[in-house]
Amino acid sequence: MQPLLAIAWLTWKAAFRFRLFLVVAVLLLGSVVGLPLLIKDDGTARGFTQILLTYTLGTISALLGLSTLWLACGTLARDIEDCTVQVVAIKPIARWQIWLGKWLGIMSLNAALLALSGASVYGLLQWRATRLPADQQKVLRNEVLVARGSVKPASLDKEIQEETDRLLRERLQKNPDSRADIAEARKQILEQIKAEYQVVPPGYMHLWQVELGTAKQIARGQPLFLRLKFNAADKSSSGTFDGRLRVGVPRETPLWHSEVMSLAPDTFHEFEVPANYDDKGVLTVAFLNANNTSLLFPLEDGLEILYRQGGFGLNFVRGLGIIFCWMALLAALGLAAASFLSFPVAAFLSLGVLTLALSSGTISNAVAEGTLMGFNSETGRSGHSVVDVVAIPVFRAVLGVINLAKDFSPIDALSTGRCVTWGELGRAFGQIVLLLGGGIGLIGIIIFNRRELATAQVQ
Amino acid sequence: MSVTLKSILPLSLIVALLAGAGLVQQSLNRDRDQLGLTRVQPLENAPPVLAFTTVALGGFRGLISNALWMRATDLQDEDKFFEMAQLADWITKLEPHFVQVWLVQAWNMAYNISVKFKESSPGQFPDRWRWVKAGVELLRDDGLRYNPNETLIYRELAWFFQHKIGQNLDDASMYYKQQWANDMAKVFAKKKPNLDELIHPQTADQKDRARLLRETYKMDPQFMKEVDERYGPLEWRLPEAHAIYWAALGLEKAKENPTKIKEDDLITLRRVIYQSMLLSFQRGRLVSNPFAEAFEFGPNLDIIPKVNFAYEQAAQEDEKNRDHILKAHRNFLRDAVYFLYEYNRLADAGQWYKHLATKYPDKMLLDGKTNSLPANLTLDQYAVARVQGDVSDSGGHDRTKGIVEGMLVNSYRSMALGEDGPAAGFRLLAQRVWSAYESGIPKERHSAIGLNPFEDMDQEVRKRMLDSKEGEPPEVRAVLRTKLGEPPETSAPAAATNAPPEKVSNR
């Protein structure tokens, strides 16, 4: 352990010697203090807090990520190029210990910088929150500076698939000689059945029964938040549709009714409602469609129940924890690249990989469409190319690897008051640090171990 | 050549070339502007940071603007609006002379984003109003600052006032009007707008309010007065007046750059003016309701001659849309006659009825009634038929009774508000509707479908309105009693039991 710590300490010393720590710390603190002065928000306390969290944490991640890559590439590649590593390598210390020691050094620097900037953001938020009027503070404490868990109605996917298969079988039995495209017919039946679950005709009521599960205990005595979204079959001149909400079951639980509300389609609406769930912890929500057109509540995100699961402080720490995991991966990437490349090439390669990971939208589209040739939405057909045979599986694999790190969105969760759970943090550690970082680190260590250090000497 | 000379020569050359480039640059810029070779013109009124950014980034600012636009679209799809104001600010600042960028971003905020928000409590839409205001501010405070001569921006700004705030398409439109009236109340010190005191402010308060008008709302009181004289009298607490102001200012700016302006742009500006004038005629007067502590809208009848002139002028200038304009003009004249009649300005009503008859002698006055030509109807018949139209279609005793009673209620309410003109007008109209219905039914059917005598109906309505339990609010009842010469109410003891009342209200 001592050799590892010694190398880590050397990395710290180098960071201070080259003023890197100081420069990055000033930049981070400057962004935390300066951004709120420059950014234009939507005029609400909630909007300001959300934009502040998004921009400050986004800037911290970007600055810290770039400095991590830079430092990781520089600290190893430069040591090799100016032969410093030869002095270290002749000591009783294994190559893997040098590599890992540098990684530890970079990560401990990151931990210090992240803690410093994170604490500043947290302090700034709390300070600003206390200066707001009482009603705005309430909104912030309930909806943004909070860790909200979420429950959705039970998935109906199994029932829908079974019903689809049953109907398809029936139709095929009735028309055994049919030459219809079976896959297309099944798709259409599936959509019809889904529509039955989603569509609310004019004057009808849509009912959801949501089992709160463990959330029942946590949410007791606290308001819940309904998050609703619907699509409309037609346009309205005002751009909105009328609806009324009811929470609870008549004669079984207390009932809550909203007024008739003017709501826009294709967007999420949040309502604070009382926790009128029954003895089994089932919350019944009804929505009355008071329009002349049908409304559609998507099965995936038509309704969600949000409840207060914990405080903002710990949630914020967990969110920073995931950012820290990203930094660990970047440090491993930079060190691995520097294990066999010169500093400029290693930095270029690392930045290239980072850019590829950040712009995975194109890859994702190609995988979703099953071709590189694009999808024609008018004809409903995709193009086809021989290259697809190789490219699509490769893209799928690349996307799978990228998504191991990209699946997490702590900044988004923190700015919208969603809970970053311990499980999520654990998963992030497993996927990003151990699996991806570990894999890249292992490759880096093996290469570094086999490298002839003296050949890299620069005149 | 000495080392010193070697250094001085290139330096002198650099200085000379830079000076030459500086001299040529001015004429180059002028030529580029005249020949329309580039949109990248020097920014006017730009803060140093923006001027530097736009010059330093050169062509790349378009790329950055595109990237920001894509982010804005993605965020909007995900319902994350808190960043939109900032992104719109950056996008427009990166492309400050690209007018469509301003228009699209402002429209997006005022129309698309605003309706995404629900009411915070019944009838209250502060979140929507914030976004409508953001759209207006983007155009007014920044768009016009960098593009002071772009007619399209004036047209869009005027349209926001006319359509988004002025019309009733949005469920929150009444809230918008109320908020705008509140904003304007700060400028006009909660009293009837007096532009002279803002043009030549004397007191500190007047100076503050004049500054507020100029600096926050970017309006010139002198030009407001000109607009008021040309198109008014206008109610400056209502959005239509502001729609007219910005459209009129757009027309003025167009005169400064006649070569760059398309005729179609001018037509759209004029259209905003006469359409807003029509809106102003229909409900461009604020009536203070002290009982509800709120404003109500009434028609602005004094503006009729100018609306008429605006329509006739537009029809003359816009050949392409002349038929549509004349149709709208005829509708306006029909409304003008009816509103004047309703407000008991019978002489004016008669004069405009004559104008209508002269201008459109062969057009029907009542929709679907082929014989309702001006020559076949008197003013009285037209006014009653306007109210009666759907009554005679359904042939309804109940509906006629409802209309007569409704008119009487309106008459008494106008009386309570001190609006004596409409009070008399509504009463007259009620009487004419009653007479027209009564004279239209056969005598033998009178007992079956006839109405009660008009005086009885009037007494019944009056009694209901003055009823202490189910009538109008106490303040309204007190005013009505005074005006009708009735004795004040005696306060009855509160009911001691839950027993049903002896009399059942007729309402």
**Cis? peptide before B290, omega within 30° of 0:** no
| Dist CA B15 CA A90 (whole Å) | 58
Mean pLDDT check: name the lowest of A402-406, B318-322, B394-398: B394-398
Q: Calculate mean pLDDT across residues B196-221.
A: 90
Mean pLDDT of chain A: 86
pLDDT tens digits, B52-64: 666 777 777 788 8
Residue by residue, DSSP assigns A58-109 as HHHHHHHHHHHHHHHHHHHHHHHHTTHHHHHHTSS--HHHHHHHHHHHHHHH
What pLDDT is recorded for position B36?
A: 60
Residue B504 has pLDDT above 80, yes or no: no
User: pLDDT grade, residue A112 (50/70/90)?
Assistant: very high
The alpha-carbon gap from B60 to the nearest alpha carbon of chain A, in Å, equals: 19
Mean pLDDT check: name the lowest of B192-201, B212-221, B445-454: B445-454
What pLDDT is recorded for position B498?
A: 41
Which residues of chain A neighbour B79 with C-beta distances below 8 Å? 267-268
Q: Calculate mean pLDDT across residues A33-41.
A: 76
Which residues of chain B neighbour A44 with C-beta distances below 8 Å? 82, 127, 130
Q: Calculate mean pLDDT across residues A26-55.
A: 81
Contact B171 A238 (CB under 8 A): yes
| Dist CA B144 CA B99 (whole Å) | 10
Give the range with max mean pLDDT: A45-49, B180-184, B264-268: B180-184
What pLDDT is recorded for position A457?
A: 56
Contact B172 A40 (CB under 8 A): no
The alpha-carbon gap from A159 to the nearest alpha carbon of chain B, in Å, equals: 29
Residue B238 has pLDDT above 70, yes or no: yes
The alpha-carbon gap from A66 to the nearest alpha carbon of chain B, in Å, equals: 20
B115 in reach of chain A (CB within 8 A): yes
Q: Calculate mean pLDDT across residues B181-210.
A: 85
Residue B224 has pLDDT above 50, yes or no: yes
What pLDDT is recorded for position A175?
A: 79
Of A41, A240, A259, the CB nearest to B85: A41
Is residue A394 classed as helix, strand or coil in its secondary structure? helix
3-state helix, strand, coil in chain A (%, to 5): 60, 15, 25
Residue B394 has pLDDT above 50, yes or no: no
- CA nearest A237 in B: which residue? B169
pLDDT tens digits, B321-340: 888 888 888 888 888 888 88
Mean pLDDT check: name the lowest of A94-108, A109-123, B467-481: B467-481
| Dist CA B179 CA B32 (whole Å) | 45
Which residues of chain B neighbour A269 with C-beta distances below 8 Å? 118
Residue B506 has pLDDT above 50, yes or no: no
User: pLDDT grade, residue B291 (50/70/90)?
Assistant: low
What pLDDT is recorded for position B391?
A: 46
Residue A459 has pLDDT above 70, yes or no: no
Of A39, A46, A240, the CB nearest to B171: A240
pTM given for the model: 0.72
End-to-end CA distance of chain A: 34
What pLDDT is recorded for position A316?
A: 93
DSSP state of B319: S
Which residues of chain A neighbour B111 with C-beta distances below 8 Å? 239
Q: Calculate mean pLDDT across residues B213-242.
A: 89
Helix residue spans in A236-360 (DSSP H): 312-338, 343-358
Contact B84 A42 (CB under 8 A): yes
Residue A103 has pLDDT above 70, yes or no: yes
- Percent of chain B with pLDDT strictly greater than 70: 87
Which residues of chain A neighbour B119 with C-beta distances below 8 Å? 261-262
Distances (CA, A) of B335 to A16, B274, B283, B368, B471: 82, 15, 12, 17, 32
Please name the helix (run of DSSP H) or strand (run of DSSP E) that holds residue A284, with its range, or none: strand A282-289
User: pLDDT grade, residue B139 (50/70/90)?
Assistant: very high
Top pLDDT among B286 and A407 is at A407
A47 in reach of chain B (CB within 8 A): yes
Q: Calculate mean pLDDT across residues A412-432.
A: 91
Dihedrals phi, psi of A231, to nearest 5 degrees: -115, 155
Q: Which A-chain residues 218-237 have CB contacts (< 8 A) with chain B?
A: 237
Top pLDDT among B381 and B243 is at B243
What pLDDT is recorded for position A117?
A: 92
What pLDDT is recorded for position B499?
A: 38
ipTM over the 0.85 cut-off: no
CA nearest to B401, candidates B412, B415, B387: B387
Residue B33 has pLDDT above 70, yes or no: no
Mean pLDDT check: name the lowest of B114-128, B206-220, B325-339, B377-391: B377-391
Its sign, for the CA torsion A129, A130, A136, A137, is: positive
Contact B86 A261 (CB under 8 A): no
Q: Which B-chain residues 381-440 have CB contacts (< 8 A) with chain A?
A: none
B163 CB-contact burial (10 Å; exposed 0-12 / middle 13-18 / buried 19+): buried
User: pLDDT grade, residue B390 (50/70/90)?
Assistant: very low
What pLDDT is recorded for position A336?
A: 95
- CA nearest B109 in A: which residue? A42
Q: Calculate mean pLDDT across residues A351-371.
A: 83
Of B83, B118, B127, the CB nearest to A51: B83
What pLDDT is recorded for position B491?
A: 59
Mean pLDDT of chain B: 80
Residue B39 has pLDDT above 60, yes or no: no
Q: Tell me the β-bridge partners of A148.
A: A308, A418
User: pLDDT grade, residue B475 (50/70/90)?
Assistant: confident
What pLDDT is recorded for position B497?
A: 40
What pLDDT is recorded for position A52?
A: 86
